[in-house]
Structure 1
Amino acid sequence: MTRYQVVRRLTRAAAHSDAQLIAEAAALAEGWAVLVDLTGGVVCSTPHTAGPQGVRAAAHPQLHPRLTIRKMAGAVLVVGPGAVSPASRGDLVARTAVDLLRMRARVRRAEETHHAEQRLHTAVLRLLLSGQPHLATDVLGGAAVTHATVFRLVGQSVHTAYQAHWRAARPSVSLSDPRLLVCVEGNELVVVALHGMGNDHYSVRPLLTRIAAQHWLAGGFSDPLPLDMVATAWAEAGNARHGASAGFLTSATVLGSRGLLHVIATHRLTSWSAAVLKPLDREQHRTLEAYLRSGSAQAAASVLDVSEGTVRTRLRGIGTVLAAELDNPTVQAQLLLAMRAPAAPPQISSSTRLVPDPPLPTDLLNAEHARRWASALLEPLDQPLRIALRCWLQHRGRTAPAASELSLSRSTLTDWLSKCGRALSLDLSSATVRAELHLAAETIATPGDGPALLPRRGGRTYRGQRPR
């Protein structure tokens, strides 16, 4: 038998198990083989009766010159060649078997590390979803991450895609890049990109887009949100996933090329955003974003783990620092746009005061371009729907006060808003979508777009007639 044939047979046996490798080594040596651990116990033996002899040889190799004995980390391999087997065959078998055993041990350690990392990723994700970002960052080793972007994908090949993504991205919760959490939750592939205030998640999206296409998964992803708002990002990504087609990723905003982040030149948006937010410290920034994203001081208090009174006190201070009316829905929409802008260079020296008129500051778009953008975005809506949507957005997405001002029943207004969402192909539950729609509605509003001038159609649609 040639050297190549010996190595080939041992390699094939090693692909199955240590026991099969030892059995093949004994067969090739035409004798016996025993794998002994450092405590003197038999790991595997062929034949079983050779075990005691292998243990004695491993303990006192100098007393057994005819045997081939090879040490490795944590174990000893003993090969007893047959009476007619050449000594060189036993030496080749032992050396090759030890190399293969070492390789199998490395693979096992890598798999154990892999499974431990996977369990750690799942644990960190659940800490974030349960509103415990401080514990999560402790597990991350104090990594300098402040925001997260959540991706959720579903399909028949979730587990295959999971392994493919793990191999391609080599995610880690350590301080190295990229900082990703990759988990399978139920029937979903979940990827959480951890990053700073900038939009570092963009480096993750191309890989996930390819994986979604290759494995025919439907996925959605959220806006970048602070770590203490991962539950909101989770819901955003889930809403986007529901509207996604197989093989594609869909943004939570679903605005795509219609969104202001694509319409406004990046350098203009980043400079304006930095100037607007420059007066805020980190705590004020977090408080304001939680308030704008969640929609109320009460919800923001839950996110920030403080009292509602504390949130309101902080908001009053923020309004003073920004010299802005935080109760004004247009100012709120402008601030949320500033929060979403990519990080700007730190050289911004001046600050900018927000005013509700014009809705889109001229630092971002001139009046003509702003009007063109807003008209194209709201073009699918007729006048009654546009008036109803504008009123609802002025009330920050609260149906009851908007229905009262419009003299509509709440069920009717809810039905109209559903029609708006379908006509625009947008998810109106998203704070980002509502902010951009508000800016668009205010940009093209005319004196005839007020609730008092809502066209009346008669019947039971309206609760009462307003004087015309």
Structure 2
Amino acid sequence: MRGDTAGLEGLLREVRRQASRPDGPDAREVLHWLHRHTGADFALVTEDGDTVESSTAGFPREILRSLAPLLARMSGGQLAAAATQADEWNVRCEVLGVHDSRPVLVAAARSALSPEAVALIPHAGSVITLLRRAMDGDRAWRGFQYKARQVRFGVLSALLVAGPVLARRMTTGAVPPLLEADRLRVHLLHCLPADRDRIVRAYQDPSGYHGPDLLVHCPVFKEHVICLIADDAGTRDGYGSGGHAGGLGAELHRLVRDNPGYAMGVSDPHPLSSTAEAYGQAAHALAAARATPGRVVSHRGQTPLGEVLPRRPALAWARALLHPLDSLPKTTVDITRLVTSMPRAAVARLLDLSRNTVTAHIKRAEAALGLDLADARSRAAVHLALALTSGCTTIEPDEPPTHPSLADLLDSEPAAAWARTFLLPLQAPQRRTLQAWIDANTDGQQAARRLGISRNTVRAHLRTAEALLRRDLLTAGTGVHDVVHALHIAGQLPVGLDLPDSPASIPTARTP
């Protein structure tokens, strides 16, 4: 009895050790433990008797052919256990499981097994069955987490590129509650890359979403979590979720407060169809938050440039600039839109495309526009045109038949006032650095050479400018567009772009 007890205690210790493995239990280790304590060799054989799932090194696989009829009867449910001889081997078999898959634990020894060893085999079979179920459960859990993460990413991608209608179609039967909201805020959380999984899972509900909200691993920056927080009640600074105090927004604020390496930018409320604009605001706010003592900044940006320009002339210019894109596939136009807001490699990761595919689409757009979208000034102009035409699908009756130039549009008192307000927080060193940086097409090394300072000093000035302007310049770079326009309006930078001869009128309105 003491021998049986000692064997069971050892088996339980092995089970505890397997259960605590970070990568999940391994039934092979139990087979090796059995071999050490019984002297027999063991194998797990599939229900058809043809495949060995795992075994100890000395297991005689050649005996399986003669055991095939017996193994078939056992897997078929006719026998639960059996003892036999096979080619001078003493064999004991034990069926594992009661469901469709019924593998057999086979023990083979040259000499007869001791009573203690014989008694230990069915216990070991039960343990292996439980470990296999645990492994199956772990695989299912991991599979669910992977699929849920992919669905959340798909919803985010649809909201960024196409809008909530496509997001709902993608999730038919399991529509996230967020898509029922009228408005959302984007909280862009900067954290340790190793913490992202833990944070996302901590607030995940059984459906794979996050209640009325959605947390998504940023596909571009490994230290970012993109948090889409429902904001139907217009809660201040996004602290509440769906208008309730203590929602996920408040939890994210507490995370930043309790973790010195964290920071967060929060957008204004936006309709779901403007998720891309909300993300841009959150990225700008995060750039400022990293240099702020509280490490949380809510977007408080000034009026966008497009809203201070004269509407009808601005639309005429924008439509003339973008009109060549009307003949291109929608995918090319969508990629072009994204490339004005993030690096090409980031667009490739966001859309799960190769960089060569993204480059091919961009070359097609560049050929149609007659522009080099690798140039910061060209990107700024196209980005402004896209912002001006966003949501405008018809030509107003009194829209002018001809278009002005971009220089003409920016040569106005409202634009000058906008630029003065935008550049006001900057000191002379930051202004000089920004001007040289844009002149060098945002190449820090070239800007450093032109200024006669180190590249690290250039980067430090740009970080300071990010905090002062509350614009993201170095991460996704979406704040560069406003810098380009503001410096041009202030006379510190030539516009660098104007349209070639274009049709005197725009025959049709484009749909972005």
Q: TM-score, normalised by structure 2?
A: 0.49
Contact 2:155 2:170 in 1 (8 A): yes
One of 88, 91, 99 as aligned partner of 2:122: 91
Secondary structure of 1:21's match? helix
Identity %: 18
Give distance in 1, aligned partners of 2:27 and 2:396. Answer: 63
The Cα shift of 1:32 comes to: 3.0
CA contact (8 A) 2:423 2:469 kept: no
How far does residue 189 in structure 1 lie from its aligned partner after superposition?
A: 2.2
Distance 2:133 2:229 in 1: 36
- State whether structure 2 residue 82 is matched by structure 1 residue 64: yes
CA distance in 1, matches of 2:107, 2:82: 10
Render the CA deviation track for 1:336-389: whole Å, top value 9, x for unaligned: xxxxxxxxxxxxxxxxxxxxxxxxxxxxxxxxxxxxxxxxxxxxxxxxxxxxxx
Choose from 186, 203, 209 the match for 1:150. Answer: 186
Q: Distance in 2 between matches of 1:123 and 1:59?
A: 46
Q: Secondary structure at the match of 1:152?
A: strand
User: Structure 1 pair 412/300, CA: closer, same or farther in 2 (3 Å)?
Assistant: closer
Q: 1:30 aligns with which of 32, 39, 44?
A: 39
Task: Tell me how far 1:79 sits from its aligned partner.
Answer: 4.2
Taking structure 1 as reference, are residues 6 and 58 closer, same or farther at Cα in structure 2, changes over 3 Å only?
A: same
CA distance in 2, matches of 1:102, 1:311: 70
Deviation for aligned residue 1:112 = 1.3
CA contact (8 A) 2:287 2:471 kept: no
Distance 2:286 2:397 in 1: 32
Query: Residue in 2 aligned with 1:42?
Result: 52
Which ranges in structure 2 are unaligned for 5 or more consecutive residues?
Answer: 1-5, 84-91, 236-240, 303-382, 400-408, 428-463, 473-490, 493-512
1:207 to 251, 254, 262: 251
**Match of residue 224 from structure 1:** 269
Name the residue aligned to 1:18.
27
Counting only pairs closer than 5 Å after superposition, residues 325-340 of structure 1 correspond to structure 2 as: none
Distance 2:106 2:396 in 1: 75
Q: How many residues align?
A: 300
Residues 59 and 411 of structure 1: CA distance in aligned 2, closer, same or farther (over 3 Å): same
- Taking structure 1 as reference, are residues 44 and 230 closer, same or farther at Cα in structure 2, changes over 3 Å only? same
Residues 31-430 of structure 1: matches in 2 within 5 Å? Answer: 31-40=40-49, 41-46=51-56, 47-50=58-61, 53=64, 57-61=70-74, 62=79, 64-65=82-83, 66-73=92-99, 74-80=101-107, 83-86=113-116, 87-141=118-172, 142=175, 143=177, 144-155=180-191, 157-158=192-193, 160-171=194-205, 177-185=211-219, 186-195=221-230, 197-198=232-233, 199=235, 200=241, 203-212=247-256, 213-214=258-259, 216-245=261-290, 248-253=295-300, 299=387, 301-302=389-390, 304=391, 307-309=393-395, 400-402=411-413, 415-416=423-424, 418=426
**CA-atom RMSD, angstroms?**
4.2
Q: Could you tell me which residue of structure 1 aligns to residue 316 of structure 2?
A: none
CA contact (8 A) 1:172 1:181 kept: no
What is the alpha-carbon distance in structure 1 between the residues aligned to residue 62 and residue 160 of structure 2? 53
TM-score under structure 1 length normalisation: 0.53
Instruction: Tell me the alpha carbon deviations over residues 117-167 of structure 1, each in whole angstroms, 9 at most, x when there is no partner.
Output: 112222222222223321112233344233332222335x22x22122123
- Give the letter for the 1:416 counterpart: L
For structure 1, the 5+ residue unaligned runs are 256-294, 314-397, 431-459, 462-468
Shift, 1:27, TM fit: 3.5
- State the 1:113 CA deviation: 1.1
Change (3 A) 1:416 1:178: closer
Counterpart contact for 1:29–1:85, Cα < 8 Å: no
Distance of 1:92 and 1:197 partners within structure 2: 58
Question: How far apart, CA to CA, are the structure 1 residues paired with 2:156 and 2:147?
Answer: 14
Partner of 1:327: none
Q: Distance in 2 between matches of 1:3 and 1:191?
A: 50
Question: Could you tell me how far apart the structure 2 residues matched to 1:27 and 1:64 are?
Answer: 22
Residue pair 2:204, 2:210 contacting (<8 A) in 1 also: no
Give the aligned partner of residue 7 of structure 1: 12
Give the deviation of 1:418 after TM superposition: 4.7
